[in-house]
Amino acid sequence: MLLASAFVAARAVCCNLRVGGLKKIKAHVLVCENKDCERRGGREAYKALKESLRERGVRGRVLVTKVDCLDQCDDGPVMAVYPEGVWYGRVDAACAREIAARLAGEGASSSSPRAGACRVLHVMRAQEVRGDEAEG
């Protein structure tokens, strides 16, 4: 029964539903905390992202998760924003604030190729992922 409850909770988060007191999540930001990214200012970018989300009043709708490594060390610090599938590299505090603004609905969408202070590494599309799986 516990496993079924965990599945329902996970599905609710992934599908933007409200179930059993879970917050409605609009986006999920993965933040690399590998030592290479940390050395290049990742901790400051992470703090700027969280602070900016809080200032804009969307912190409760954007889940921010530190991950061990996103395997893009040459381009660190790295943040990946879902469901848009946009991966940002060389993220500094200014870029982190821009990501927060986009997630709050200010300015261009987070999947826009023109990222201002941010360097877009890759924009993943659902069809690309499905196409890769079909080939493999």
- pLDDT tens string 13-70: 455 544 445 568 889 999 999 999 999 999 999 999 999 999 999 988 999 999 999 9
**Strand 79-82 to strand 27-32: parallel, antiparallel, or no bridges (unpaired)?**
antiparallel
The pTM assigned to this predicted structure is 0.72
Is the distance from CB of 80 to CB of 123 less than 8 angstroms? Answer: no
- Angstrom distances, CA of residue 34 to CA of 14, 45, 107: 25, 13, 30
Tokens representing residue 122 in the block: 């890759």
Determine the 3-state secondary structure of 90 from DSSP: coil
